[in-house]
Amino acid sequence: MLIKILGTGCAKCNRLEQLAREAVAELGLTAEFEHVTDMPKIMAYPIMSTPALVVNEAVKVSGRIPSKDEIAGWLKAAGQP
């Protein structure tokens, strides 16, 4: 599973990455993380604001920090065949 955090490295972006990492650990999943800070790469995704969470190239949320439970739900769905 590939998880991308889209954002410039602000506190909200870092918090989103921390929550995603915690959710992955709690679910016992294996995931690769990438923090995308390059604005042209961020703009390639259909988002209007950061931070954004992308799981396996699908944007799950942007412009807010979701709860860890929300993130866990998206990760469970993405981890199933």
Q: In this predicted model, what pLDDT tens digit does every residue of 50-74 receive, in sequence order?
A: 999 999 999 999 999 999 999 999 9
2-79 has CATH 3.90.226.10 classification: no
Length of the chain: 81
Residue 44 φ/ψ, nearest 5 degrees: -70, -15
80 pLDDT higher than 90: no
Annotated active-site residue in 1, 10, 39, 58: 10
Annotated active-site residue in 6, 13, 19, 20: 13
Q: Which two tokens stand for residue 65?
A: 């920090």
Domain ranges within the chain, ordered by starting residue: 2-79
Q: In this predicted model, what pLDDT tens digit does every residue of 4-40 receive, in sequence order?
A: 999 998 999 999 999 999 999 999 999 999 999 999 9
Query: Active-site residue 10, yes or no?
Result: yes
pLDDT-based confidence at residue 79 (cuts at 50, 70, 90): confident
